[in-house]
Structure 1
Amino acid sequence: MYIIAGLGNPGKQYAQTRHNVGFDTIDILADKYNISVDTKKHKALCGKGMIEGQKVVLAKPQTFMNLSGESVRELVDFYKIDPEEELIVIYDDISLEPGQLRIRPKGSAGGHNGIKNIIAHLGTQVFKRVKVGVGEKPKGYDLADYVLSRFPKDERVLMEEAFERAGEAAVCMMNDTMEHAMNQFNKKTEK
């Protein structure tokens, strides 16, 4: 069984912001594979189902970004999965251009507070990640204001395609090797 956790902040005021690309990707996976992500447990909105022969739990932690580890830890413990093998976390990355993906099998938090909290709660940096590029913050911008802002209309179209690809990357990571997923999805996409 796999847990695919998309990070974000709960509440309408945060919907479709840069910080919520994980939630947006989970929504696309849920629609595509007919999984209802509407059960409240483990400090998350969860949905159980099958994706290409794999049992999965899709999760959108409701703890707010900086406490994402609380929910992820509860999910890992409840479903008794190995986080190093069966957890995939999808989240925003400001060091990547909007719409670019970066697949990683492990790594540091890179300044991302949600990931920092997950690492603290799991006690390991080894878990699969799908980073979705949201672009660098403009000079003079406050980082929090930037990641909580929405994409301009032209970028939103690009991001919708990125969420689609991020979902495909997560499925690839479950059904194939990490190397294959990285080779397929870490390429720069044409704008």
Structure 2
Amino acid sequence: MFKFLFRLFKKKTHTEDLDAMKKYLIVGLGNMGAKYENTRHNIGFKILDYFADKENLVFETQKLGDVCTYKLKGRTFVFLKPNTYMNLSGKAVLYWLTKEKIPLENLLIITDDLNLPFGTIRLKTKGSDGGHNGLKDIQDKLNTTKYNRFRFGISDAFGKGRQVDYVLGDWSEEENKTLPERLEKAVELIKSFALAGVSNTMNAFNGK
């Protein structure tokens, strides 16, 4: 009997491990509240909201963020929009990684990037925070720089001393015309990240 229970326990643990490998935490960075909704800094929220609208998903407010789940071809996506405000994003990321038992390699952070031309998308598996306070807090809470981040270019088209106003400013009329196509590409990247893996996704999407 003991040997049977031991085998059963081992099998269950192995199954749970396999289930964890098929679960992904997709985090869009941003700030909660209507005044931030259409700002460049909130592109992480905007991408997840666009994805949710396409798939008729509904976010629910839970601990440390708004959350919804999406299933595709045996994978489970947990979408998270932290409600901690940008500078404390790491607290929400760490909580949901732990709660959902998602391995670090299945984490994807979506963030704005001043160093990329508008609309450019780039996936990286590690790197510095680049002066981004959200990434800085995530790095601090996870105690590593080795986590996947999906960087969406917002360009650096601002005058001296105007960076904060630019980042927290609304998209321009010209940018709003291009955003739908870019958001569609972002959705494709997120799906590919889980279905095709990070290396194949980088090859297929980076710089496009």
Report the structure, 1 or 2, having the larger helix content: 2
Residues 153-190 of structure 1: CA deviation (Å, up to 9, x unaligned)? 111122232222122111111111322111111134xx
1:133 CA displacement:
0.4
Match of 2:191 in 1: 171
Match of 2:48 in 1: 26
- Count of matched residue positions in the alignment of Structure 1 and Structure 2: 186
Tell me the amino acid that sits aligned with residue 79 of structure 1.
Answer: E
Alignment partner of 1:180 out of 200, 203, 206: 200
1:127 CA displacement:
1.4
Question: What SS does the corresponding residue of 1:29 show, helix, strand or coil?
Answer: helix
Question: What SS does the corresponding residue of 1:60 show, helix, strand or coil?
Answer: strand
Kindly report structure 1 stretches of 4+ aligned residues shifted beyond 3 Å: none
Residues 103-151 of structure 1: CA deviation (Å, up to 9, x unaligned)? 1111111111100101111111111111000111422243221110011
Higher-Rg member (1/2): 2
Alignment partner of 1:92 out of 108, 112, 131: 112
Root-mean-square deviation (CA, aligned residues, Å) is 1.3
The answer for unaligned runs of 5 or more in structure 1 is none
Contact 1:33 1:51 in 2 (8 A): no
Rounded Cα–Cα distance in structure 2 between residues aligned with 1:25 and 1:78: 23
1:27 CA displacement:
0.8
Question: What SS does the corresponding residue of 2:155 show, helix, strand or coil?
Answer: coil
Question: What SS does the corresponding residue of 1:48 show, helix, strand or coil?
Answer: strand
The answer for unaligned runs of 5 or more in structure 2 is 1-22
Rounded Cα–Cα distance in structure 1 between residues aligned with 2:130 and 2:120: 17
Tell me the amino acid that sits aligned with residue 58 of structure 2.
Answer: S
Q: Equivalent pairs: percent with the same residue?
A: 37
